[in-house]
Chains A and B, each alone.
Chain A
Amino acid sequence: MTRSGLMAGLLLVWLLMGLPARAESRASDAPWYVPDHASLQFAGSIGMLAAGPGWAFLDEQVDVQLLLGWAPRSVAGADFVTLTLKAQWHPFHIARGDWSIRPLTVGAAFSYTFGDRYFLTLPDRYESGYYWFKTALRPALLLGGSVGHAMPELGVPLLEGYYELVATDYRIVQFVQNPLTVNTGLFSLALGARLRF
């Protein structure tokens, strides 16, 4: 797990470096790689807690995020460290005074789980095609929404709370196979907070 620990450290440093840089430079004059926002998420199949930087495009209609997630053995039965790349589209944006509402968010995510017991390419003991999926990589579809409030007194233009319904690939497969079977949970829920600098 040392490699995952290193990754976590690097991401944290990157995130912390991004925070003040953006606060000073404001909008568009910062280089592209300086994050526009940072998120902290609870659950959503990418760890108990996941955090990381994000970048907004197209007038903040599209967000791309990189999240490092962690779930401890004491809660999840095993230690899990994941790296998730998320792309989200917010087609609507309602702004009223200090409030900012994005009622619909659709997106997709790829989550990579670190560790020897998950594979990205099939280990040698299998013939090619033995398993059609990769246990280390989980694609997922996302559906959600967010409500934000301006907090200039904290030096943050916007603090958003969001929820997300996460349908991982295997949940989709099971749901499509058994559409009428009750109890086939398509989604799990994630809750999060996002700071837009």
Chain B
Amino acid sequence: MRYWLPWLLLLFAGCGVFELHPYEVRGGEQHVNARALEKLPRDRGDGSFRFAVMGDIGVFLKEANDAMKDVATRDVDFVIQVGDLTEFSSAQEYGRVASLLNDAPVPALAVIGNHDLLGTGRQLFHHHFGAADLVFDYGGSRFVLFDSNSREFGYPGNVPDLDLLRAELRSPPRGGHLFTFSHVPPWHSDFDPSLKEPFEHLQAERNVVVSFHGHVHRFGSDVREGVRYFITDALELRNYLVVTVAGASVRIEQVFY
């Protein structure tokens, strides 16, 4: 073997031409969620802003690409995708979706879905997006993203982690709204049934204004203990939610593209 051959192979390996294993964890865009937060415009302070909530991507990559283009025309400040970025948790899908969100016209963050947890999925999510639990404040409101894929972990009793949520669901900094985001809605059988009521109570007690979810692939909404719940269509159906916050008012519309 020539002495340069290993170096050449290493170079190629770095370029992504080579795949060592379908679930390998290396390369691609990293810390996408944290970078999206860095890109967020400076806090506006007047409590008026818009954001988008997108549903499951899975194998609907073309529709996801189109959605990311469409979002540029909607005057929204950022996007939150509510899980199932991938179908197989493969390294290739993760890499591609990470660059899709990273290159989106507005800052885009992702929540973890059950399909994103297969094999090395949890590690892949951590590598490309960061921690599955994330809290940030914007425009005087608070946004809490968390993992509610209880079935993937065999219902261990701490997915979602209510202790952590209890600490995170504090009053928004400047009297704005509290929004929560996770993949599986609490009344679904993939959500730990023993945590359903405590979770819904907690959300109500902390005055969560809207709780956003995906997983079901079909739009739905509900009010439970005074908290509004929305489930997004999968992106296959070419629509997503746009949330307009203007002081005390929160308006949610489904926009098609």
Contact = CB atoms under 8 A, between A and B. Distances in A.
Interface in A54-93: 69, 71, 75-78, 80, 82
Interface stretch (B10-18, B134-142, B165-173, B175-183): B10-18
A178 interface: yes
A42 B24 contact: no
Contact of B96 (A123, A173, A183): A183
A47 B20 contact: yes
Interface stretch (A3-11, A17-25, A130-138): A130-138
Interface in B10-53: 12-13, 16-26
Contact of A170 (B12, B90, B99): B90
B118 interface: yes
A76 B96 CA distance: 17
Nearest to A43: B18
Contacts of A131: 118
B123 interface: yes
A171 interface: yes
A178 B61 contact: yes
Given A78-B123, A174-B93, A189-B12, A71 B151 contact: no
Given A117-B119, A133-B88, A188-B18, A181 B62 contact: yes
Interface string B62-102: 10010000000000000000000001111011001001000
A184 B21 contact: no
Interface in A141-197: 166, 168, 170-171, 173-174, 177-178, 180-181, 183-185, 188-191
Nearest to B26: A77
Interface in A98-123: 113, 117-118, 123
B60 interface: yes
A82 B21 contact: yes
A34 B194 CA distance: 58
A189 B61 CA distance: 23
Nearest to B86: A170
Contacts of A135: 23, 88-89, 118-119
B59 A173 contact: yes
Q: Which of A45, A69, A181, A190 has the most CB of B within 10 A?
A: A45
Nearest to A117: B119
Given A174-B59, A174-B93, A43 B13 contact: yes
B17 A189 contact: yes
B62 A45 contact: no
B62 A78 contact: no
Given A76-B20, A113-B23, A125-B151, 9 more contacts: A71-B20, A75-B13, A75-B20, A78-B25, A78-B123, A174-B61, A178-B59, A178-B62, A188-B17
12 contacts: A43-B13, A43-B19, A45-B19, A75-B20, A78-B120, A113-B23, A125-B155, A133-B88, A170-B90, A171-B92, A177-B59, A190-B18
